[in-house]
Amino acid sequence: MHKQGMLRENALKDQTIIVTGGGTGLGRAMGKYFLELGANLVITSRKLPVLEKTKLELEAETGGSVLPVACDVRHYEEVEEVIKTAIDSYGQVNGLVNNAAGNFISPTERLSHRAVSAVIDIVLKGTTNFTLALGKQWIDQQQKGTVLNIVTTYAWTGSGYVVPSACAKAGVLALTRSLAVEWAKYGIRTNAIAPGPFPTEGAWSRLLPGDLQKKFDPAQHVPLGRVGEHQELANIAAYLMSEYSAYVNGEVITIDGGEWLKGAGEFNHLEMVTPQMWDMLESMRKG
Ligand code: HXC
Ligand code: NAP
């Protein structure tokens, strides 16, 4: 069931949605489901050949319309150009998914200031660039819009070894909650999704390089005992981009099988206690 689309047919009909980082991974999966639900899709990232390949695949798989436009989200003029090209092609843009990200693991003291900036600029500046450029357009045109930001669960806990990403995602979460209030009067809703581990080439190759994947199987940290399916995330994304969620604003939906709470709960490690040990503890207590 969780591998199936959950929204009604045509739930996004006549909507045009920009997905940053839409050529690969979770951006591609969300975009594919938006197309299946009747949306037009604009995908953007730095690598045009990747975007063009994804366009051909997604159009063949869904029968929808995909516009690939190359852009580095760190550069505001390029972002403005994507929005202009999208409007020229489809007349208007109704939704934005800020999904593009950069990340890698490293002890923080080993990072150059350029490495820190690379990640913060892609994640935080990229998100503010697209949100500002499109928000201004919507407000000028008195048009409603929906923004969805892809964060992570360590946006609120923080995390060692991915510090630039944690700082940037925390900023994106603050942006989500701030604009949800400030821009609601313009009919602009702003929400976020915080995924736990979902296998993608981009994330896995950078966060679990070499044999780290074998040593630190991400599924083992998840109470539900598995990693996420792309369709599960796409279902929430489509819901948040659709009018079915018209009263949801400023929310962050976590989809991680309970992973971050497992790390947070003081006594959660007691799952290592066997039934025999519990029996022993009980008899000691009764004694
Ligand atoms: C340390 C690194 C590094 C690494 C690059 N740098 N990779 N430092 N460890 N693994 C340093 C470089 O040496 C350089 O500093 C600076 O960072 C900029 O590097 P460039 O290669 O010039 O940057 P750029 O071409 O802009 O590439 C950005 C990138 C790259 C972030 C470094 O990895 C990228 O393009 N990523 C995009 C896709 C991605 O990361 N996807 C994963 C998202 S997963 P110096 O000082 O040498 O000049 C995710 C999941 C979160 O977010 C949650 C999971 C549960
Ligand atoms: P991914 O495939 O590597 O996606 C990242 C995308 O961002 C790529 O398509 C990349 O394309 C694009 N991008 C990177 N830098 C860019 C830039 N400067 N300008 C424009 N586009 C840029 O990884 P993913 O796992 O699908 O991640 C998608 C989102 O989910 C990210 O926000 C990530 O933080 C979040 N997330 C993922 C997981 C997970 O387990 N996979 C967990 C939590 C959160 P180019 O290289 O062509 O630019």
Q: What residues contact 273, with CB distance under 8 A and at least 6 apart?
A: 281
Contact criterion met (CB below 8 Å) for 96 and 134: yes
Sequence spans of domains, the chain: 16-286
* Whether pTM exceeds 0.85: yes
Third-level CATH fold of 16-286: Rossmann fold (3.40.50)
Greatest Cα pair distance in the chain: 79
pLDDT average, residue stretch 195-220: 91
Query: Mutation test of ligand 2: which of 18, 20, 26, 208 has the most ligand atoms closer than 8 Å to its C-beta?
Result: 26
pLDDT average, residue stretch 68-86: 98
pLDDT at 285 > cutoff 90: yes
pLDDT digits (tens, 9 = 90+) for 135-159: 999 999 999 999 999 999 999 999 9
User: What local confidence, expressed as pLDDT, does residue 174 receive?
Assistant: 98
User: Which residues does ligand 2 sit against, CB inside 6 Å?
Assistant: 20-21, 23-27, 45-47, 50, 72-74, 99-102, 122, 126, 150, 152, 195, 197-198, 200, 202-203
Residue 91 Ramachandran class (φ > 0 left, ψ -120 to 50 alpha, else beta): left
pLDDT digits (tens, 9 = 90+) for 83-130: 999 999 999 999 999 999 999 999 999 999 999 999 999 999 999 999
Nearest to 190 by CA among 198, 202, 181, 180: 180
pLDDT digits (tens, 9 = 90+) for 158-179: 999 999 999 999 999 999 999 9
Nearest to 171 by CA among 193, 152, 155: 155
Please give the share of the chain, as a percent, with pLDDT higher than 70. Answer: 100
User: Which residues are the active-site residues?
Assistant: 154
Q: How confident is the model at residue 287 (pLDDT cuts 50, 70, 90)?
A: confident
Contact criterion met (CB below 8 Å) for 149 and 100: no
Distance in angstroms (rounded) separating the CA atoms of residues 257 and 140: 41
pLDDT average, residue stretch 244-273: 96
User: What local confidence, expressed as pLDDT, does residue 214 receive?
Assistant: 81
Nearest to 79 by CA among 134, 118, 117, 21: 134
Give distance in angstroms: CA of 42 to centre of ligand 2.
16
